Amino acid sequence: MRFTKMHGAGNDYVYINGFDETLPDDLPELARQISDRHFGVGGDGMVLILPSTVADARMRMFNADGSEAEMCGNAIRCVGKFLFDHALTAERELRIETGAGILTVQLEVAHGVVERVRVDMGLPRLVPAEIPTTLPASRLTAAAISRLPAALAQSVASAVVDAPLDVAGERLAVSCVSMGNPHCVTFVDRLSDRWVREIGPRIEVDEHFPRKVNAEFVEVISPTELRMRVWERGSGETLACGTGAAAVCVAGVLSGRTRSRVVIHLLGGDLELEWGADGHVYKTGPAVEVFAGEWQLDPARAAAPIST
């Protein structure tokens, strides 16, 4: 089975062309094996690029622990690059079906290959039950509502913003956002390994998040510049998280810490975020193909080419 290793700002996955390749029935086990950094190809997970009946292609993604996730903002950029660079499309604007709905990507092409991709991440979900979280929402102040994009100012009256959460002996002030997958954002004075590697795993499995949660820790440099690290649900610390960066952009605006357009510095590189007047969050960043190879499948576990 052929695979391609790609990354967006260091958030690396093993990509498989599901238009052509034969895959085993047990996709979670394949994801665990192929993502292993010692005994497999190595990555934060596995992404399948598949045919779609409603869009240009469909993306399915599995974390390194085999759990399937709804969406990944860095991975979808790489899916767009793969489709164009490998001649599966000649279009520079694509619609990709994901577990979080159909998202649009715009490809920035130079010398015949995609270098950067702008993703319409859609509307953030702020209602606690839609995130999901059992933390209570609080009514937004008039000042907070005035900072909302025009398309949302009349409809969003409350959100989980700077809500108290007790974790590992710390009283945190957290903001919760779904970008098709759940995020818990904590603004801190200074980033440290302790925040990410000790507090992050505790937040992931906290009882207030029935489907677990991605935990972002953010240091504000200025209203337009942030530094962020992330503990990803099912993968541990990763070098970047696109949906997490989108959630941070939203949380920064709601809490009054940032403007609607920011640059976020992650361990793997920079992402540009904008919470637009239409209420959608837009993210722009790199997409890089690293290498390709062949994974030896156990013939006894192989199945027909995947079509769903």
Domains of the chain: 2-121+287-299 (3.10.310.10), 128-279 (3.10.310.10)
Q: Are 234 and 64 in contact (CB under 8 A)?
A: yes
Rounded Cα distance, 156 and 89, in Å: 38
Q: Which amino acid, 238?
A: T
Angstrom distance (rounded) from CA 160 to CA 209: 13
CA distance 159 to 157: 7
pTM, to two decimals: 0.90
Residue that is written with structure tokens 């000042």 in the block: 143
- Between the alpha carbon of residue 158 and those of residues 130, 139, 144, 209, 243, the distances in Å are 13, 4, 10, 18, 21
- The tokens describing 91, both together, are 């279009």
> Taking a C-beta distance cutoff of 8 angstroms, is the pair 75, 181 a contact?
no
- Name which of 170, 148, 167, 168 is nearest 157 in CA terms: 148
Helix (H, G, I), strand (E, B) or coil at 69: strand
Residue 173 confidence (pLDDT)? 98
Q: What are 272's strand-pairing partners?
A: 263, 284
**Average pLDDT by consecutive 10-residue portion of the chain (308 residues)?**
97 97 93 96 97 98 96 96 98 97 97 97 96 96 90 91 95 97 98 97 98 98 98 96 97 96 97 97 98 83 44
End-to-end CA distance of the chain: 18
Instruction: Kindly state the DSSP code that residue 305 receives in the 8-state scheme.
Output: P
72 included as an active-site residue: yes
For the record, the structure tokens of 225 come out as 């510049």
In this prediction, residue 155 carries a pLDDT of: 86
Q: Give the Cα separation of 173 and 255 in Å (integer).
A: 11
Whole-number pLDDT of residue 303: 41
Secondary structure (3-state) at 85: helix
**What is the DSSP code string of 285-301?**
EE-EEEEEEE----GGG
CB 41 within 8 A of CB 13: no
Q: What is the DSSP letter of 199?
A: I
Question: Considering 72, 78, 184, 249, which one is annotated as catalytic?
Answer: 72
Buried b (16+ CB within 10 A) or exposed e, 26-47: ebeebbbbbbeeeebbebbbbb
User: What tokens appear for 77 in the block?
Assistant: 């950029």
pLDDT at res. 299? 55
The one catalytic residue among 78, 184, 241, 249: 241
